[in-house]
Amino acid sequence: MESLDVYLNDRKVGRLDDDNGLLSFSYDSAYLASGIREPISHALPVRTAPYPHQEVEPVLSNLLPEDIIRTRLGQILQIPRENTFAFLKAIGGDCAGAVAFFPTGYTPSAVAGGEFRELSDEEAGAVLDNLEKRPLDVGEEGFRISGAGAQDKLIACFRDSHVLLPLNGTPSTHIIKTEIRNYPGSVENEWYAMSLASACGLSAAASEIAVIGGKRRFVSLRYDRLQADGRVRRLHQEDFCQMTGIDPKRKYEVLGGPGIVSSFRLLRELSISAAESLEFIDRVIFNFLVGNGDAHGKNFSVLYRGGVATLAPMYDVMSTTVYPDVDRRMAMKIDDEYAFKWITPGKFLRMAEKMGVSGKVMSGEMAKMVRRIRRQAHIVANRCSRAWPSSVYAEIEAGIARRLEQI
């Protein structure tokens, strides 16, 4: 049997055991005695009895990269794709949120300010250009970072236009993406969509475009990190798949993943404020209007502060409909419809009824988002075009105009 110590907010909270591929998780006796009731997951409340494999594995699998990236990582690390424990042992030192995994007895870096290796611009560019062959820059000594999601990215720190690799348990602060193969303008696309969301009054992770290694890269500040007094503190977060124990392979609603109605019920279960519940509705409307067909259960999250859940800022938002090879359907259906072109105001209203939201409220939120995006879409496109010219802004605007006509 092998074990890993599990940390939450830099405090040891439990132990993950692997017995010939069967996982179990137990909260630490000292943590239980402390009276602190903050769990590592909504799906794994604090209790004395250990959690068995079928409850633990889906939660922890959501902390790891998905699909082809996980397979490529496994080939490099010589780990089978399904061996969640081995992956966490190799790259679980800095996961999404505040959960981290370390070998038993290992103490995360306590160096004031953390430990880093600064990359030259040429080195950083080479790392980003080589992510398909070496995901997350795996193999760097002391670099144990897991980047959940299905897109190649570098989880690092970005300071004064320099990329730094955090080592030995030092928290990362940024997510850096390069252009997605066969999806031209994806960097500018995501930056525009995130900028537009913010301009429309939605909470979105801070982002920018930076030239690294001679190419434009999308750089996003991690919202699950808090920087103060020269130190970085992790903030606990969970995406909707992790909270509900749904395997990341089933993140799309059509495959059994979370839908809008079930997600809204989850927010109510967590006692999310009325204002944040409306924000969730606004994000659904915005994703439809901007043409984001990839707003699945792993692209919605909550943050925990003092045990209180709040809706996390938007992230991983882009217009997928501008790419002809991408399915023209939404990740979560509106009422009973996935296809963008068949979504009508009536479907939003029928969905509202299933959510327990009045038609008046839904109509009001739709009118508000239509008004805001109609006012801001071209303004933001012009601002983005002046800074980082691209034809993708006009393509996204054209799609927005079509969908505005629908509702």
Task: Give the position of tokens 């939120």.
Answer: 365
% of the chain at pLDDT higher than 70:
93
CA torsion through residues 321, 323, 326, 331, sign = negative
Distance, CA of 310 to CA of 34 (rounded, Å): 24
Average pLDDT score over residue span 103-121: 75
Kindly report, residue by residue over 129-153, the tens digit of the pLDDT.
988 776 555 544 444 455 554 467 8
Q: Which carries the bigger pLDDT value, residue 370 or residue 151? A: 370
pTM confidence score = 0.92
Name the token pair of 27: 């909260």
pLDDT of residue 73: 74
Catalytic residue among 18, 152, 239, 294: 294
How many CA atoms, within 13 angstroms, populate the side-chain half-sphere of residue 310?
A: 13
Q: What are the two backbone dihedrals, phi and then psi, of residue 26, each rounded to the nearest 5 degrees?
A: -130, 135
Q: pLDDT tens digit string along 311-335?
A: 999 999 999 999 988 878 999 999 9
Render 219-256 in DSSP notation, one character per residue: EEE-TTEEEETTEEEE-EEEEHHHHHT--GGG-SGGGT
The CATH architecture one would assign to domain 115-221 is 2-Layer Sandwich (3.30)
Residues in the chain: 407
**Which tokens is 61 given?**
């699998």
Domain boundaries along the sequence of the chain: 2-103, 115-221, 234-406
Matching CATH number, 234-406, of 3.40.50, 1.10.357, 1.10.1070, 3.40.140: 1.10.1070
Summarised one tens digit per residue, pLDDT across range 63-103 is 988 777 777 777 777 788 788 999 899 888 888 889 999 98
Residue 210 has phi, psi (to 5 degrees) of -135, 145
Is 294 an active-site residue? Answer: yes
